[in-house]
Amino acid sequence: MFKRRTPEAPANPPQVVKPGGKGRPTPKRRDAEKLRRQPITAPASGKEAYKRRRAQLAENRVKTREGMAKGDEKHLLKRDKGPVRRLARDYVDARRTVGSYLMYAMFAIVLLSILPVPAAKLLVLFAPPVLLVLVFGEGLLLSRGIKRLAAERFPDENAKGVGMYAAMRAMQIRRLRVPNPQVRVGEREKV
């Protein structure tokens, strides 16, 4: 009455391999958990735990710094992420800008201010405002250019603040820019 009507299932059923499948059966949960478990290697003291933690954090910082320098999207700050920001970086890095030489020029102006020559004193008086106006004008032109280009290439992406981002990057010394420039001066944008 309560007997099985189907014959017993074979001990090892034939494996059916689907095209695109992984080619092996899914492991049982207990077996997968056994493989995941590792013995706990707790530090002997609080000092040792602190040293391990500091070493781990230092290693993470090095990886993050290297990733940021390379422009790896995973390691970038929120302000640098996205295809629009990458386009802005490449757009600015492909040009020589007055803003990137501003610090050098200001240092030269300070050195000129030491000289007792009247022409140098006059130059020191008028050069900083002229330089600042040039940098400001260049920032506006870069901002307009990158906004237009971003709207053409990435119409669905959020381009809010990309103009200011490009202008601020243009004012940084090229060697000190983070993420590092990915294009040479005169080269076209990569995106």
The pLDDT tens digits along the chain (191 residues) read 676 666 666 666 666 666 777 778 888 999 888 888 877 777 878 898 899 899 999 999 999 999 988 888 888 988 999 999 999 999 999 999 999 999 999 999 999 999 999 999 999 999 999 999 999 999 999 999 999 999 999 999 989 999 999 999 999 999 999 899 989 998 875 54
CA distance linking residue 73 with residue 147, whole number of Å: 21
With beta carbons less than 8 A apart as the criterion, state whether 78 and 151 touch. no
Q: Which residue has tokens 């200001």?
A: 106
Q: Are 81 and 118 in contact (CB under 8 A)?
A: no
pLDDT of residue 18: 67
User: Taking the complete model, does pTM exceed 0.75, yes or no?
Assistant: no
User: Per 3-state DSSP, what percentage of the chain is helix, strand, and coil (rounded to 5)?
Assistant: 60, 0, 40
Question: Residue 189's pLDDT is what?
Answer: 58
Return the DSSP state at 180.
P
Model pLDDT, residue 85? 94
154 vs 141: CA distance, rounded Å = 20
b/e sequence 50-72, b meaning 16+ C-beta within 10 Å: eeeeeeeeeeeeeeeeeebeebe
Q: What is the rounded CA–CA span in Å between residue 153 and residue 18?
A: 41
CA–CA gap between residue 143 and residue 166 (Å, rounded): 6
CA dist list (Å): 157 to 107, 150, 168: 40, 8, 21
CA–CA distance, 123 with 109 (Å, rounded to integer): 8
Please choose, from the candidates 159, 135, 157, the residue with its C-alpha nearest in 3D space to the C-alpha of residue 146: 159
Backbone angles phi, psi at 10, to 5 degrees: -65, 150
* 163 contacts 61 by C-beta, under 8 angstroms: no
Q: Hey, what amino acid is at 156?
A: D
